[in-house]
Structure 1
């Protein structure tokens, strides 16, 4: 995969100190004896122009945090912001427009449309919004993900790593304020996963874009500028400049003993 990264392109409309944040976030599922407190008063910001990883044991609330911060789910109480916009105050239509124009998504399952070509999948969010892509920016992204010779192929003709690179390009195509990535390497082999993580990191650092990534993998988290740790629905620590070894050691201290042993193994 080429190492070229776009160094210009459309700039987000505003660049506040935090690209996204939640304040006193509480998320409850169920009622009565079956009620689960997935988030328990979490306040955390995701700085603009930075790559932040969210880690925690299974059931810690990390995916719930990402989904609520991205407007894919609603908080029971508390607030979630994209830039200075309180997304909890938006109606369905305005929230849909905000997600389409200011947020990008990369998922473990790629979520590409099999009947569309690579080029069409990349520009799909812009097409749905009725917006024309910045061609110079789009060309730079295509070269960055190394798929110039695959633009007319369909997802079924690509490897898993290539499909995820399409998903990354699609997430950045509209120059969103923040890209949320949920276990983006979960379906990839180690080599393809490392390529995708390097791509995310370089794009953040060389274009001032923002990525928030949920992962269970200390090696993946080490690509971030900072790691946020959750346990039992609470924010328990933050680690700047992580390494895989430091992340693993910290993660083991929060995880239940059987899980900690499994991670070590």
Structure 2
């Protein structure tokens, strides 16, 4: 049974992987200014799967991007663990994203000249580290890529390419993985396989995942759904089902 909760910054006994405090993101100025985020405060618990939903233009992708350090807020603070990333310069942010964060985007962003195995190992190689072979093997087995590791992206289906991207995101053992519409370019079967993998990563590998999605079925794989409207978090849902998420989105006018 899902539970709707009144959204508030609050505190939790669980460890916090990321949090926003009083975050505003404005585009433009004067009469043309648009607030993509309006004084948002939220905590992302470690070891949980959090989905972010809202109508078009609600600010959900903007929230993910500022939490991940891909964009800077106009005001407020963003923390990854206990580190205030809003005080970092561009080089420090780049290193933090490389060392502590994983990313999965709708566009797979794989290098076409590299094999699946080489794409998975690339972030570690760039960082000058050798990936943990047992960890990578467990990810590859879970995502079902064992027989495709020697293939280049052009030789893989869209679903297989996205699973390579997901494996790459987890290969460095990041503190948190951000996924922006990761199933948007996939058919329903491939999308379901990816979502099951992300669920497994959270439940069995103690990973933390934050996913933006417009799909109630995808959101139902999460432990918690945050609902945005007009740049603000208006509510959240625990243990969501697809029908309950869909009904709530209709109330938001999505």
**Is TM-score (shorter-chain normalized) higher than 0.5?**
yes
* Aligned counterparts of 1:40 and 1:242: Cα–Cα separation in 2: 25
Q: Does 2:112 correspond to 1:114?
A: yes
SS state at 1:104 partner: strand
SS state at 1:149 partner: coil
> Which residue, 192, 214, 238 being the options, matches 1:194?
192
Equivalences for 1:199-210 in 2 at 5 Å?
Answer: 199-210=197-208
Equivalent residue for 1:103?
Answer: 101
Note the alpha carbon deviations across 1:161-218, whole angstroms, 9 max, x for none: 0000000000000000000000000000001000000110111011111000000000
Q: Does 2:84 correspond to 1:86?
A: yes
> Which residue, 149, 152, 155 being the options, matches 2:150?
152
Equivalences for 1:212-251 in 2 at 5 Å?
Answer: 212-251=210-249
Equivalent residue for 1:164?
Answer: 162
Equivalent residue for 2:64?
Answer: 66
* Aligned counterparts of 1:45 and 1:208: Cα–Cα separation in 2: 17
> Which residue, 140, 143, 149 being the options, matches 2:141?
143
Structure 2, unaligned runs of 5 or more: 1-13
* Aligned counterparts of 1:91 and 1:41: Cα–Cα separation in 2: 23
Note the alpha carbon deviations across 1:68-97, whole angstroms, 9 max, x for none: 000000000000011111001112221111
Aligned length: 241
* Aligned counterparts of 2:17 and 2:224: Cα–Cα separation in 1: 14
* Aligned counterparts of 2:176 and 2:29: Cα–Cα separation in 1: 33
Equivalent residue for 1:5?
Answer: none
Structure 1, unaligned runs of 5 or more: 1-15, 261-265
* Aligned counterparts of 1:152 and 1:33: Cα–Cα separation in 2: 54
TM-score between the two structures when normalised by the length of structure 2: 0.93
* Aligned counterparts of 1:79 and 1:247: Cα–Cα separation in 2: 29
* Aligned counterparts of 1:116 and 1:127: Cα–Cα separation in 2: 13
TM-score between the two structures when normalised by the length of structure 1: 0.90
Equivalent residue for 2:74?
Answer: 76
Q: CA deviation at 1:17?
A: 1.2
* Aligned counterparts of 1:177 and 1:148: Cα–Cα separation in 2: 25
Q: CA deviation at 1:126?
A: 0.7
Q: CA deviation at 1:142?
A: 1.0
Q: CA deviation at 1:30?
A: 0.8
Q: Does 2:175 correspond to 1:177?
A: yes
SS state at 1:68 partner: helix
Q: CA deviation at 1:33?
A: 2.1
